[in-house]
Structure 1
Amino acid sequence: MANLEDLSAFLAVARAGGFRDAARTGGGSASGLSEAVRRVEASLGVRLLHRTTRSVLPTEAGAQLISRLTPALAEIDAALDMVNGFRDSPTGTLRLNVPISASRMFLPAIVPRFLAAYPDIRLEITAEDGFVDIVEAGYDAGIRYDERLEQDMIAVPIGPREQRFAAAAAPAYLAQHGVPGHPRDLLGHACLGGRATGGRVGPWEFERAGEIVLVEPSGPLTVVHAGTDLAIEAAIAGTGIIFLFEDWLRPHFESGVLAPVLEEWWQAFPGPFLYYSGRSNPPAPLRAFIDFTRKLAAP
């Protein structure tokens, strides 16, 4: 019979779609994971994964094994975590999937303090802007905004409770091209657009005194959200007007390399939430993280 460690390795590879990605996410080595999967296939006498140079996909037998293994291993983890609750300090790994903005704006103020308070917890954070099924992908929790949450998820406020998107440009750009007085004036400017991975460039939304204006940006540069730093540097260099989280741009306002644009039109929206599945009790590392963030947020 295959042992639990090898079965867990097989499940990690299947979820990641490859040995290298699974090793990068969960630690260890690709060769070690490959050997573990080989042992499982040898013990069962069935091929579980189709391997190509570009991807790893489950066979029919592998897919059925995954569907049965996932809840079984989750139940084992829950049983072991129950014992973890009797420790003075929880231990284990906490896996989070978060937006890139969260990893830049407010998690740096939380993560080091959390790890100092819980030295036996290992934190694994994947920062990406594409929507991910955290249960299917093997994460304990995620951070998203309310419009991206599924109904069977439990949501806990984390980070700033109100945020704004801000428009900004280099003073030199505004001196050369003029300062927009209304969001519609942006149609005559070079706008530095951004989009989520695999998505389209979304409209820029502004609001003042109940009036909402949507502007479809057009300009010389569009980046996926992971390339936001490039867009900021292009704005600083005078390439055009950028539209991004106010908190992300605030240091550049303070240094003077960027100037606010249409500030009276910046629209406020609710802050993000830490969310996790409500179908089972959260593991001890996640409970500790939830309690810790709540204490930080308390007045």
Structure 2
Amino acid sequence: MKHNKSMNSLTSFAGTHTRRAASPVCPTCLRPLLKSYVSSGCQMKFLFIFVLLGSVACTSLDAEKNDVESNFFVGIQNDVLVYEGSITKSSNLAIFQALKKSKEKPKRLIISSPGGEIGAGMDLGEWIHSNKLNIEIKNLCLSSCANYVLPAANIKYLHKDTILMWHGSAWQKQWDTTNSDESFYSSYLPKMRKREAAFYRRIGVDNLITVYGHNEMTIWDKLRSLFGNDLIGWDYSLDDLERFGISKIILIDNHWNWREYQPKARNAIKRITLKKNYSFMLHRFET
């Protein structure tokens, strides 16, 4: 993997992760893990909250917030696009406008996100793809960020401690739809599935990547929750990401092993290995 000098334009990821109540489609899927970090470059302590989702069968469908999350920056910083926090329509609009108004058009987006609503995730991914942006993932890229932002980028820069996590998508089979109205199945889900299939076809990635882990969970994985060790998602090796169609990944630190640097999250995310008989396919899921 090619070595590239780390960018220091994003030196803190601080504040409280503020949210409205979760959508009734997924009422219990947020579990916060809190960790303090010390930046070796500037010796500044900073705090960031990353949200890990509470079930591998539960994709974020959270209600939209009116404003960009407080204490998270979205815009241009040191001539680089920066996107912190959940993926929302408001944050998307802020980053879209920042690029549009900028005289010098940045080609790199630095992002750290726990994900967000499926449609907002695809909005951001489509924008990244159409603008041929490179992305640098600082800290984490989970759920809709891993589904739609990571694969849409031109070049993907990872740090040694960057957490990637998948846990489902519009095409997953199981949903917690407690108290949801009928429009979820009759309108929202068919629309998102059709759009997601077209999205992955456009970027040349097998959309099996978003749900492959569901069939690889063992009875022991499911029993872990009885002991308070919930498994909340999965990740893949770089070689397997390439088999799915995600290429042009550059390791800023010359290696990527986030489990070594993020021990509190290590046991919550399972490493899934693609079977030898896996065969790449576009148009795998279509309506």
TM tier, shorter chain?
Answer: under 0.3
The structure whose residues are more often helix, as a share, is 1
After TM superposition, the score normalised by the length of structure 2 is 0.25
Q: Which has the larger radius of gyration?
A: 1
